[in-house]
Amino acid sequence: MKSKRNNIIVGIIGILLALLWLSPFYLMIVNAFKTKREIFTDVLGFPEGLTFENFSEAFVELNFLNSLLNSVIITVVSVGIIIIFSAMAGYALARNKSKLSAALLLLFVSAMLIPFQSVMIPLVSIFGQVEMLNQAGLIFMYLGFGCSLSIFLYHGAMTGISTSLDEAAIIDGANKFQTFWHIIFPLLKPISVTVGILNVIWIWNDYLLPSLVLGEDNATIPLQMFFFFGQYTKQWHLALAGLTIAIIPVIIGYFFAQKQIIEGVSEGAVK
């Protein structure tokens, strides 16, 4: 009985903490519906009436459909090539037992230590000189920064896949690429989901790299948000409506895939 009462107390503490955790979102959303004056007079309460003008104005000023499309294209293409190329590399490195292969894996793993700011200045300079400061260049950069952790995860997952599968496929006349694509890659699906989730979260939200590479025309959501915010400092009703709009796609995604997201992140963090 005592433990039941304890559970109720702990449950209440949990709910209170959850409310505290949600309060920034609450404050953002309720104030996004208020007028500039109302935010000034009453910041905590519900809005007097639901005005959607803030949202429509922010939607236009954020150039939202354009930045959403840019974010989707860059994220989907980058994560797609990270998954395919890292899986291929993880497979090759796991099946090759030489010293060279171990050294290459170590190289990829150690590259995870390099902070972005340490390479960003020469990176922008080199890519600028070959006219690659554009979407294609950005996607290639994401492959370079994203492949290390992904290869590491794929390499770990490969140890659970028996080499007799490869051998059987080779006997059946498949070449290395067919073996990988038809036999191994489908078996790696759980780890591909993890790799995909980790990279989507990072690339979708990245600000600094796109800010150095992209112009305003093909800005991603975070980059567009930065331009937008600079314009509307102190106009909180518009700024908050813009922030709310920017978050909506993430919340929708989280709503549909929360289980996979949390599992994927825990998989990646514990490894």
Partner 1 sequence: MRNRDLSFWLFLTPVLLGLGLVVILPLLYGTVYSFTDWNGLTANKFLGLDNYKRLLEDEEFLNSIWFTIKFSVVSVILLNVLGLGLALLVTRQLKSSNFLRTIFFMPNLIGGLILGFIWQFIFVSVFEDIGAALQIEGLQGWLSTTSTGFWGLVILTCWQMAGYIMIIYIAYLQNIPKELIEAAKIDGANSFQRFRTITFPLVAPAFTVSMFLTLSSSFKIYDQNLSLTNGGPFESTQMVAMEIVKTAFSANEMAYGQAKAVVFFVIVSIIALTQVYYNKKREVDM
- For residues 196-215, which are near partner 1 according to CB under 8 A? 201, 204-208, 212
Query: For residues 168-187, which are near partner 1 according to CB under 8 A?
Result: 175-177, 180
Q: How many helices (H) and strands (E) does the chain have?
A: 14, 0
Q: Does 107 bind partner 1 (CB under 8 A)?
A: yes
Closer Cβ to partner 1, 56 or 110, answer by number: 110
What's the gap between Cα 19 and its chain centre? 25
Q: Which stretch binds partner 1 (CB under 8 A): 48-56, 59-67, 186-194, 219-227?
A: 219-227
CB-count exposure of residue 163 (10 Å: 0-12, 13-18, 19+): exposed
What lies within 8 Å, CB to CB, of 32 at 6+ separation is 54, 55, 237, 240, 241, 243, 244
Query: For residues 118-157, which are near partner 1 according to CB under 8 A?
Result: 118-126, 128-129, 140-141, 143-145, 147-148, 151
Q: Does 86 bind partner 1 (CB under 8 A)?
A: yes
Q: Does 256 bind partner 1 (CB under 8 A)?
A: no
Calpha distance 264→213 (Å, rounded): 29
Q: Which stretch binds partner 1 (CB under 8 A): 50-58, 62-70, 116-124, 187-195?
A: 116-124
Reading the block at residue 191, the tokens are 């780890």
Query: For residues 14-53, which are near partner 1 according to CB under 8 A?
Result: 14-15, 17-18, 21-22, 24-25, 27-28, 31, 39, 43-44
| Cα angle: 98, vertex 99, 101; to 5 degrees | 70
Q: Does 101 bind partner 1 (CB under 8 A)?
A: yes
Candidate residues 5, 98, 159, 164; the one interacting with partner 1 per rule CB under 8 A: 98
Closer Cβ to partner 1, 52 or 140, answer by number: 140
**What's the longest Cα–Cα distance across the chain?**
77
Rg of the chain (C-alpha set): 24
What lies within 8 Å, CB to CB, of 193 at 6+ separation is 260, 264
CB atoms within 10 A of CB 193: 17
In the DSSP assignment, the letter for residue 79 is H
Cβ 144 to partner 1, closest distance in Å?
Answer: 3
Candidate residues 59, 76, 85, 156; the one interacting with partner 1 per rule CB under 8 A: 85
Q: Which stretch binds partner 1 (CB under 8 A): 50-58, 62-70, 188-196, 218-226?
A: 218-226
Cβ 91 to partner 1, closest distance in Å?
Answer: 7
